[in-house]
Structures are given as structure tokens and as C-alpha cells.
Amino acid sequence: MNASKYIFTILFLVATSSTLFAQQFLPSEFPDRIVLTWSDDPMTTQSVTWRTSPEITDSKAQFILAPNTPIYTDSVETFDAKTEFLDVDSVQANYHSVTFEGLQPATTYAYRVGKEGTWSEWFQFTTAPQKGTPFSFVYFGDAQNNLKSQWSRVIRQAYSNLPKAAFMLHAGDLINRTQSDSEWGEWNYSGSFINAMIPSIATPGNHEYDRAENGTLVLDYHWKKQFTLPENGPKEFSETVYYTDYSDLRMISLNSQEIVLDENSMEIQKVWLGKVLESNTQKWTIITFHHPIYSSGTGRDNKEFREAFKPIFDKYKVDLVLQGHDHSYGRGRNLPSGVANQDPEAQGPVYVVSVSGPKMYNLTFDKWMDRAASNTQLYQIISIEGDLLSYGAYTATGELYDAFDLIKAEGKPKEFIDRADKAIQEAIELTPGSEKKMTPEEMAEYMRTYKKGN
């Protein structure tokens, strides 16, 4: 082999090795990718979705009020699943779903999915409580990369920290390559039985999208098959634009990939959001989508999105906006970009950008944030109890990284209390390899922004 051929072979092996050795998560007759979501009222319904190999066309779900005794199958109810075939990335599978209905609030049920000979284990879930009941949930920024090797410890740490989470919120880019079945396999592997016990609420990011040959945006085919999400949004954006009411919270998902790339989609979602907020009687309102209104990542700005939607968030006094996309952490309040911000009168949202996976970008020079992080995988726990919303961001090892409270007492302006003084030191180092991506001037500017001006 001559030298150039040898080099070519080496390059070829390096280029293909990640594909050659990507772990496949092929379906079998045994159910996998078992995920809880809501498609309707969390107090009285629970949807579950799972996957099998395509020859299984008659999968079922069984459920029962969770007993203290062992589960005796003569007393369980059995439901036929709705089944949809998916052929993507050379993997053929059937995705099955059932929505349990007529449930009691704040009640624990046991369920399993499959059929005789191939049943899953029995899992348990607890329905949402009545309005006015305290609860907490977990929010994750982009998982996206190295899902099995490095994102898994974050979701598992979050579960150890808050095993009774009401739900887990994913703010887009759950995976990296659209239509990659092995990446969805890794995502499900990492969440494993947690996904079967705690419902997920998910909004898509740019990495869940592709373009068709005619230029239209195409949502990853897995999305609607493996998540059974609410269909109360505009029909064009079914299961990506929706809301769920849980206790005193209205949790809204917008599809920001459609907003930032398509004017018509932006208009449809603006009109829909206005109506959903206008008729909202919930005490607390949180909105999630992928692209940040204020960017925490360097060189990024979604100006048109901000100009179109921020006035709506302000008008309806949205409490919190939970986002991803920038692979860094930023938390700040409702002020124009570029202003170091403390406004006690601000009634608009607190904006958060976070990242749960290991891909990292440097922080923006446009320092709108009161608290930032680079090079840190995080998850957030948000608790709502009456007049109080308390927020904590945690590192992959469970250390408190950021915290604040919002207090909304009857007849008083909303109060914001920064609790970051309880957290560990701010992580603002440049990410590895920055010296190759930045000029010395940019590096100096970064130091000025984050080291002195902080």
C-alpha cells in the first residue's frame, strides 16, 4: 500500500468508525422505548407509548389501581393499543399507544405493556393532583450528543434528586441527527424506566428537523410515533405546539424551529399563543421552546422571534421561559438585551437557557444574564407551591448552580428574589479548544465581560 492510499484508508476508517460502531437499538417482540406523556388532562388521563418489532400488531396495555398486594392479573383492565408502523434509518418498528382515562387525581396506578409472553414489567405512575397542590418538575436543556455515554448521568442524577417529579421537560434537541434511530435508542436507553414512570413534556429543536426536497420543514418521524402529546395546538403543529395544565401551572410548548424559519408559522403560533394566554386562569404560566429569546451562546441572536413574542409574554405576565439551543447556561430577567439587569418592577418572564448534554459553546459577549455558565451540564428543578415558585439549577453531580424565587401574592407585584448566593462559584471558563476558534481580541473581550464586569 503506497503512502497516499494508506492515509486515505486511515481517514476513511476514522470517518466511518462512529457509524460502524454506533450501537443499534433494534426492536424485538418485547416492548421497549416505553414513555409516559399526556395527551389530555393529567388529573384523569395518562398516555403511554412503546415500541416493538413490526410483526407485533396486537400489543396491549393493562392497568390497575396500584395495590399493596402483588398484582393479580385477574383483576386488571386490558386495553388494545393504537399501532403505527415506522420505517426510518433502516429500522422497521411498530409504535403502540394507549391513553388510560377516567383516573382519579393524585392516585398511583400500575401498568404494563405488551402481550402474553412478552409483557413489560409493571410500572407505576401517579396522576396529577387537584389544583392548589404543590409539585415540582425537572427541566432539561439540549441532551443532543453522547446521549448514552454522557447525558445518562444527568437524567439519572435528576431522578435521584427528585424521584417524585411531576414531569420531565425537554426543551428541544433531544437528539443530534434527525431520523437517527440509534440516537433515539440512546435517548430512551438513558431515560429507561424513568421515562416509564414520570411523564415527559417535550418541544422539538432544530435537530429534530430536516428539510424535504421542496424545502418544507420535516419533523423527525420518531416524534409523533413515540410521544403521545396534546393535540390542542394549531393542527399544522400538532404535538409540538400545545399546552398542559398541571395543578396551578399552565405549561405551554411553542415550536420555535417553525417560528424562526417560517413567517407563516410564526403568525399562526402568535395568534394561538395570544388566545391561550388570554383565556388562561392558572396562577403560574411557563413557556418552553428551543431557540432563546435572549441568547446565552456566543454570536447568536433570534431578533425577529424576540420582537414578535416578547411583547406577548410581557402583556400576559408569563412567569418563566425555558429554552435550549445555545449549549451554555444563562438566566436573566425581562430587560432589553445588552443591559445588566435588575428591575424590581419587571413583571415579564425570567428567561433561562440551559444545556443537559456534553456539547458546549462559549458564552455570549452580550451579557444580559444575572447568572451564566459555560462548560457545565445542568438540570433544573422548578417547584410551585401557592404564591411561591422556586427554581434551582443543578450540575451533573447534583450541586446547586443557580437559584431564585418568584413570589406572586394577591394584589402585589410579582417579586423576584435572587438566591444564587447559595450556589457554587460561577463557571465561566472558555470551553476547551476556544483558542482555535477565537482571536486573541475576542478572548480578551470575553475576559473583560466575564472576569471583571461580573
Residues that bind Fe ion (CB under 5 A): 173, 205-206, 325
Calpha distance 364→7 (Å, rounded): 39
The answer to whether 356 touches 395, Cβ cutoff 8 Å, is: no
Residue nearest to Fe ion (CB): 325
Nearer to Fe ion, 276 or 353 (CB): 353
> Angle at CA 361, nearest 5°, toward 251 and 308?
45
Minimum separation from the CB atom of position 290 to Fe ion (A): 6
- Chain-centroid distance, C-alpha 43: 21
Minimum separation from the CB atom of position 292 to Fe ion (A): 10
Within the chain, how many helices (H) and strands (E) appear?
9, 24
Minimum separation from the CB atom of position 327 to Fe ion (A): 8
Calpha distance 401→427 (Å, rounded): 9
Nearer to Fe ion, 94 or 176 (CB): 176
CA dihedral angle for residue 8, residue 10, residue 13, residue 18, rounded to 10 degrees = -120
Calpha distance 142→159 (Å, rounded): 17
Nearer to Fe ion, 173 or 220 (CB): 173
The answer to whether 247 touches 129, Cβ cutoff 8 Å, is: yes
> Residue 234, Cβ neighbours under 10 Å: how many?
17
Minimum separation from the CB atom of position 206 to Fe ion (A): 4
C-alpha cell recorded at residue 201: 413534556
Nearer to Fe ion, 208 or 402 (CB): 208
Nearer to Fe ion, 260 or 403 (CB): 260
Calpha distance 79→353 (Å, rounded): 40
CB-based burial, 342-374: b 16+ in 10 Å, e otherwise: eeeebbbbbbbbbbbbbbbbbbbebbbbbbbbb
Minimum separation from the CB atom of position 329 to Fe ion (A): 15
Minimum separation from the CB atom of position 257 to Fe ion (A): 8
Nearer to Fe ion, 209 or 243 (CB): 209
Nearer to Fe ion, 325 or 408 (CB): 325
Minimum separation from the CB atom of position 69 to Fe ion (A): 47
Beta carbons within 8 Å of 166's beta carbon, 6+ residues apart: 128, 135, 136, 137, 198, 199, 246, 247
Calpha distance 365→300 (Å, rounded): 10
Minimum separation from the CB atom of position 445 to Fe ion (A): 25
- DSSP for 275-339 reads HHHHT---SEEEEE-SS-SS--BTT---HHHHHHHHHHHHHTT--EEEE-SSSSEEEE-SS-TTS
Nearer to Fe ion, 32 or 326 (CB): 326
Minimum separation from the CB atom of position 6 to Fe ion (A): 38
The number of residues making up the chain comes to 454
Scan for cell 421497549, then name that residue.
32
Nearer to Fe ion, 170 or 325 (CB): 325
Minimum separation from the CB atom of position 179 to Fe ion (A): 16
Calpha distance 232→402 (Å, rounded): 33
Nearer to Fe ion, 52 or 206 (CB): 206
